[in-house]
Structure 1
Amino acid sequence: MQDQGAPMPYPQYGYPQPNAQSHQDPSMYMAGPPAGMYNPAAQAPMSPPGYYPQQGMPFMPMGGGGGGGEQSNFMPAQFLQNPVMANMAMQYGQSLVGQGKEALDRELNKYVSTSRIKYYFSVDTAYVAKKLALLLFPFTHRDWSVKYNPDEPVQPRYELNAPDLYIPAMAFVTYLLIGGVSLGIQERFSPEGLGIQASTALVWAIIEVLAIWVTLYIMNIQTKLTSFDILAFSSYKYVGMIVAVIASFIMPSAYHLALIYVSAATMFFLIRSLKVQILPESSHDSYGEQNTSFTGEGSKRRTYLLLFMGGLQPLMMWWLTRQIARP
């Protein structure tokens, strides 16, 4: 039989059970060592917060405080360095661009057919060279008919007499550049003057197309000429305008002679080209359809329209070059 004063072990841990005297000793509950004893920890300097003396490096907090901004700036770099995530981001961006292009094409097709616009720019180098020669020397040309496929007209690169918008667009830009050079030679160049020249030419081109459309409506003339056809035929005059302005560089008096020739050539080209479209010689129009409205009063109205469009070209050519040609 054991003595009751002897320490009894805990049955679950095997530690000796403290006796009643140890419970009465308050020194065992003190946080530090007993008074009078040396404590090395108390003499050591306190470490600054956020610093590990064992590792010798600062403590980087995971979140909150001042370290959150550095961690958030570091995450995009890790994201972009991941090949999988970068590839996914690139594919997502390409899909967004494709969707935006499709939406833009749908909106444009509501007002203008993109396939129709591509038709007017379907040209090649051989076509451009032949068409420029035809615009400057149309008097020797014989065949002015335009060939058409069963579904759509032949592209300009395969048909010299078909209208296009490539030459008018390039001629318009060249006209502005030549005008700037001419004003520079005369020491009258200014960016504002060049902008006024461009805006004036553009406004007059729009007014000319609208005037022709109003004339078609007032005279009740039914034709298959589209607005792009009229814009193309009425803009071929910029080729002759460029020749007239360049002639003034060589000799100022040559401007009027060149203007007279290119005006006559442009008027002849326009009348012969539109005559096939507006006033066919036979009872079938250029599309091969039967037409019975080209006799009597209808034929006179169409002839007046041709004369109006042809006579308008020399007037517009003189008006748009009189200020920039070298006197």
Structure 2
Amino acid sequence: MQQDPGNPMPYPQFGYPQPPPVPAHSDPSMYMAGPQAGIYNPAAQAPLSPNYYPQQGMPFMPVGGGNEQNNFSMPTQFLQNPVMTNMAMQYGHSLMGQGKEALDRELNKYVSTSRIKYYFAVDTAYVAKKLALLVFPFTHRDWSVKYNPDEPVQPRYELNAPDLYIPAMAFVTYLLIGGVSLGIQERFSPEGLGIQASTALIWALIEVVVIWVTLYLMNIQTKLTSFDILAFCSYKYVGMIVAVVVSFIMPSAYHLALIYVSAATMFFLIRSLKIQVLPESSRDAYGENNASFIGEGSKRRNYLLVFMGGLQPLMMWWLTRQLARP
């Protein structure tokens, strides 16, 4: 038997065939382990099956196969399909519509959205006339509010109707003017502006609550709602802005401007609420036999009007005393 130089240890004495030559290979996995260490393993050259782990023989999912690539391409194909895109958009619009209806239904349990929209139904002509009326109310003659039997007349068609657009814009402008005033006096800070806004908002809510409780305790019949009271009491921010702006031009004229706008606000508030706190139709309904009761109701109404009117100058001074330029 010819000695194979690649395998120096043949086993002819045991009748075994001579093993194939062992090529020089640097990978240890190409050789058998155990008692036959060092013998070349031809099976190691066979590629591993993609469906089994070589150690445990367990099936596994291939990594980086074609299925994964198809899965990643599915969203792109879905978005490129116009039919599926339209269906998704219609479904999204349907969900948004259902959510809006649910939100409106929950809000209507506490606040009527249609009622809030009424207070913001204004136009440019109404805003200009109402601002002029707030600053110069002494020349106004007709303070009655026209009513429609079907629905209330919107503020854009009725100058004497209350609105919340001017109070809201005046409140924001008051905060901006206050920030400018504090900046001129070198006392501006974000924290101070936040305190100014929160203080004004808290006092406005307290004023509305106090007036509403007073109406209840004095048993005064009125058609005023909480939004009406908030609107009439918030018109004072227009006069406050005028007083602070005057202090920019002439600091010594602040108190004179405050006195004038306070008197104008009082006059406007009393004349506007005089026919709404206890309407004439409600008084006539009692007849002549209830004259004493009507007289008592008129006294309570006058007390309430004086209280609401006298509260405005005090609030205007309190909220502008630190903003006016000294």
Name the counterpart of 1:102.
101
How far did residue 279 of structure 1 move?
A: 4.2
Name the counterpart of 1:275.
274
How far did residue 289 of structure 1 move?
A: 7.5
1:290 to 285, 288, 294: 285
Matched, 1:65 2:63: yes
Name the counterpart of 2:187.
188
Name the counterpart of 1:58.
none
Assess if the C-alpha contact under 8 Å between 2:122 and 2:156 holds in 1.
Answer: yes
Q: Which residue type is aligned with residue 209 of structure 1?
A: V
TM-score by length of 1: 0.77
Assess if the C-alpha contact under 8 Å between 1:175 and 1:241 holds in 2.
Answer: yes
Q: Which residue type is aligned with residue 290 of structure 1?
A: A
- Alpha-carbon separation, structure 1, partners of 2:100 and 2:273: 37
Partner deviation per Cα, 1:71-116 (whole Å, 9 max, x = no partner): 4332212211111111111111111111100000000111111111
> SS at the partner of 1:140?
coil
Matched, 1:305 2:304: yes
Name the counterpart of 1:128.
127
Name the counterpart of 1:30.
none
Matched, 1:170 2:169: yes
RMSD, aligned CA: 2.5
Unaligned 5+ runs, structure 2: 1-44, 50-60
How far did residue 211 of structure 1 move?
A: 0.3
Name the counterpart of 2:148.
149
Matched, 1:76 2:104: no
> SS at the partner of 1:138?
coil
Q: Which residue type is aligned with residue 193 of structure 2?
A: L
Assess if the C-alpha contact under 8 Å between 1:279 and 1:303 holds in 2.
Answer: no
Aligned pair in 2 of structure 1 residues 204, 291: CA closer, same or farther (>3 Å)? farther
Name the counterpart of 1:39.
none
Name the counterpart of 1:245.
244
Partner deviation per Cα, 1:277-309 (whole Å, 9 max, x = no partner): 1244xx425xx9835677221111110000000
Aligned pair in 2 of structure 1 residues 291, 129: CA closer, same or farther (>3 Å)? farther
Assess if the C-alpha contact under 8 Å between 2:107 and 2:113 holds in 1.
Answer: yes
How far did residue 323 of structure 1 move?
A: 1.3
Name the counterpart of 1:231.
230
Name the counterpart of 2:114.
115
Q: Which residue type is aligned with residue 128 of structure 1?
A: V
User: How many pairs does the alignment contain?
Assistant: 271
TM-score by length of 2: 0.78
Q: Which residue type is aligned with residue 114 of structure 1?
A: T
How far did residue 65 of structure 1 move?
A: 2.4
Assess if the C-alpha contact under 8 Å between 1:79 and 1:85 holds in 2.
Answer: yes
How far did residue 161 of structure 1 move?
A: 0.3
- Alpha-carbon separation, structure 2, partners of 1:94 and 1:179: 43
Name the counterpart of 2:221.
222
- Alpha-carbon separation, structure 2, partners of 1:256 and 1:157: 34
More divergent stretch after superposition (218-227 vs 230-239): 218-227
Q: Which residue type is aligned with residue 129 of structure 1?
A: A
Q: Which residue type is aligned with residue 157 of structure 2?
A: Y
- Alpha-carbon separation, structure 2, partners of 1:142 and 1:189: 43
- Alpha-carbon separation, structure 2, partners of 1:279 and 1:216: 11
Alignment of structure 1 residues 254-265 onto 2, 5 Å: 254-265=253-264
Assess if the C-alpha contact under 8 Å between 2:177 and 2:244 holds in 1.
Answer: yes
Unaligned 5+ runs, structure 1: 1-45, 51-62
How far did residue 48 of structure 1 move?
A: 7.1
Aligned pair in 2 of structure 1 residues 323, 72: CA closer, same or farther (>3 Å)? farther
How far did residue 151 of structure 1 move?
A: 2.5
Runs of 4+ in 1 over 2 A off after TM superposition: 46-50, 63-74, 288-295
How far did residue 117 of structure 1 move?
A: 0.7
Assess if the C-alpha contact under 8 Å between 1:284 and 1:291 holds in 2.
Answer: no
- Alpha-carbon separation, structure 1, partners of 2:217 and 2:241: 33
Name the counterpart of 2:33.
none
Q: Percent identity?
A: 84
- Alpha-carbon separation, structure 2, partners of 1:121 and 1:148: 17
Aligned pair in 2 of structure 1 residues 290, 82: CA closer, same or farther (>3 Å)? same
Aligned pair in 2 of structure 1 residues 150, 105: CA closer, same or farther (>3 Å)? same
Assess if the C-alpha contact under 8 Å between 1:209 and 1:230 holds in 2.
Answer: yes
> SS at the partner of 2:148?
coil
> SS at the partner of 1:245?
helix
